[in-house]
Structure 1
Amino acid sequence: MIEARDTEARSGTGGRDFWPADKPGSRGPKPKLLFGAAAALLAVVLAVVAAVVLTGGDDGAEKATAGTSNGPGVLPVAYTPQMADKAMIKLARRAADPRPVTQGEAFPADTKTVKYRTYAFTLAASQVSADCKSVTWGQRLQGDLAKYGCTQIVRGSYVSQDKRHLGQIAVLNLVSQDGAEQIVRDLDPATNAGFVLPLNATGEPAFGKGFSAAYSQVHGHYVIITWVQRAGGGQPASLNEMIDASLAIEKPADFVWGRLELIPGRKPR
């Protein structure tokens, strides 16, 4: 495990722990849960890197939905990947699940307002893009998206009801589980391979610059990304704040479980 560290520390031992020591009554950073009670996600890797702003990151980007725009090409500061879940083996190939994901499927009524613990978010914008290159940045990432048959990227932008937190969810539709796992490796900020562009809604705080944390999950041939930050990009008090905020906004990914149920007994080729 790579511990998150203070990138500004100057000590010869590699820097002090980025997150404060546990206080009385605090349980510290905990495993991220997948879809609430559906499964547990182990906290595996936290890689802290400087946020990277690419000049012209969204030049020429597709603006398929009125009132939305792509944010800057930036990397999350903290990143936690999770590889394939055995429960999703029947979705390991898109050949078993060929229907395109629709906006109504990913963002039904019960995703318009989402909550987890003290965090409540409202969906500000959503978009389904069939051009994976137009809503991502990074030559290496875009090359692998083409290599592994990315046909869709579904994105949603959330704003907390108190306007203090912003959230992004993205679902990437790849040809196979192997491809999805490679994309999750590419998304690691340490590779500087690229990332999904945030989706911003007109009139809402912009997502992108500053401290942010992203969590990627492989479920069959899909990659699910939840990405959160404080409005304005301020540093959170603890990683738990980011984890809990991300749990609130992953509701749209529930559609994957519905698709899994439609493939009884079928094994990937």
Structure 2
Amino acid sequence: MLTGMGLRPRQQKTIVVVASVIGLVAALAGVVIFATSLGRYTPDREPSAALLGPDTTLPLVFRGWKSPKLFDPLADRTKDAKALTEKEVFGQSELSVDRKLRLKLVAKRLDSDCSAAVWGQGLTERVSDAGCTQAARGLYLSSDGRYVGQYTLLNLKDGQAAAELVDALETLYRGGWARPLPSPKGSFPAGGYSEAGGYALGHYVGLVWLGRVDGAEPGVKDDYVSLTLGLRGAEKAVYRRVVAITGPKS
């Protein structure tokens, strides 16, 4: 057709190239218009403490732990149907850390509605899906007035639910956590440093949460390992339940 119009081969080639570019631009413009009409997509992500604001009270560090074989007898809640009691979990007014340091119980609470003990949409939904029927929380202050800690024990439907919750907390803790118990004797400072651990214990999940009362990051003299072991003294209630099922010889 272009030859019939009297155009030389060089002119024909130029026209074809220009027409191709114009066609490509028009096609891209059409794609953009179509894509815009579909709406805007924003990828999901777990909110960080910074996004939640400076007054957010949650741990800045978290580590999860799988359930040891010792707690296999508690993998099914139907074999451990008796409900937890406040006295059973927080019967001791003090937990020992070392020869000099103690953790003193200053507040305790047992909720049958687990959503009252945690916050954050993702975590609240996970806890509900895990069949949580009880949440026991105890707030402790160290005898030297330097540390604050909270132990939370969640009663879930089975060992799989407990393991999945601990795994999910690897990201969920950034946008939701256990609600801190209020106490006039002390609390976790808003925006301060704290760290936590999640422990699957059969069909239970134990949450350990520790920080300094002044909110500062730990120094060389701050032994969080010993503090964690001391705070986990509240887990004696779970050990006693293993014995109740298997017998003292086990």
Q: TM-score scaled to structure 1, two decimals?
A: 0.68
Cα displacement (A) at 1:190: 6.5
Paired-residue identity, %: 29
State the 1:106 CA deviation: 0.7
Which of 81, 96, 102 aligns to 1:115? It is 96
CA distance in 1, matches of 2:102, 2:180: 20
Deviates more, 1:186-195 or 1:148-157: 186-195
Q: Distance in 2 between matches of 1:159 and 1:90?
A: 33
Equivalent of 2:225 in 243, 253, 262:
243
Per the alignment, do residues 223 and 190 of structure 1 end up closer, same or farther by CA in structure 2, a change over 3 Å counting?
closer
CA contact (8 A) 1:73 1:197 kept: no
- Three-state SS of the structure 1 residue aligned to 2:149 is strand
Q: CA deviation at 1:54?
A: 4.3
One of 113, 127, 132 as aligned partner of 1:145: 127
Deviation readout 1:25-61 (Å, 9 max, x if unpaired):
xxxxxxxxxxxxxxxxxxxxxxxx9645847xxxxxx
CA distance in 2, matches of 1:147, 1:154: 18
Say which is worse superposed, 240-249 or 184-193, in terms of deviation.
Answer: 184-193
Alignment of 1:158-173 (within 5 A): 158-173=140-155
In 2 relative to 1, CA 223–208 (structure 1 residues): closer, same or farther, beyond 3 Å?
farther
Matched, 1:204 2:204: no
Counterparts of 1:250 and 1:80 in 2: how far apart (Å)?
15
Amino acid paired to 1:114: L
Aligned equivalents of 1:99 and 1:53: distance in 2?
41
What's the offset of the Cα at 1:224?
0.8
Give the Cα–Cα distance (whole angstroms) in 2 for the partners of residues 134 and 116 of structure 1. Answer: 29
Q: 1:216 to 1:240 in 2, by over 3 A?
A: farther
Residue 239 of structure 2 is matched in structure 1 by: 257
Q: Is the 8 A contact 1:54 1:74 kept in 2?
A: no
Within 2, Cα distance between the matches of 1:50 and 1:162? 32
Larger relative helix fraction: 2
- AA in 1 matched with 2:115: K
- Which of the two has higher C-alpha Rg? 2
Q: Which runs of 5+ in 1 are unaligned?
A: 1-48, 56-71
Tell me how many residue pairs correspond in the alignment: 198
5+ long unaligned stretches in structure 2: 1-46
Q: Is the 8 A contact 2:118 2:124 kept in 1?
A: yes
**What's the offset of the Cα at 1:152?**
0.6
Q: How do residues 67-78 of structure 1 correspond to structure 2 at under 5 angstroms?
A: 74-78=57-61
User: Structure 1 pair 101/208, CA: closer, same or farther in 2 (3 Å)?
Assistant: farther
> Residue 104 in 1 paired to residue 87 in 2?
yes
Query: Structure 2: which amino acid aligns with 1:147?
Result: D
**Structure 1 pair 52/263, CA: closer, same or farther in 2 (3 Å)?**
farther
Deviation sequence 1:101-141 (CA, Å, 0-9, x none)? 00011112xx2111112431110011001111112111111
SS at match of 1:192: coil
| 1:176 aligned partner | 158
The amino acid of 1:146's aligned partner reads S
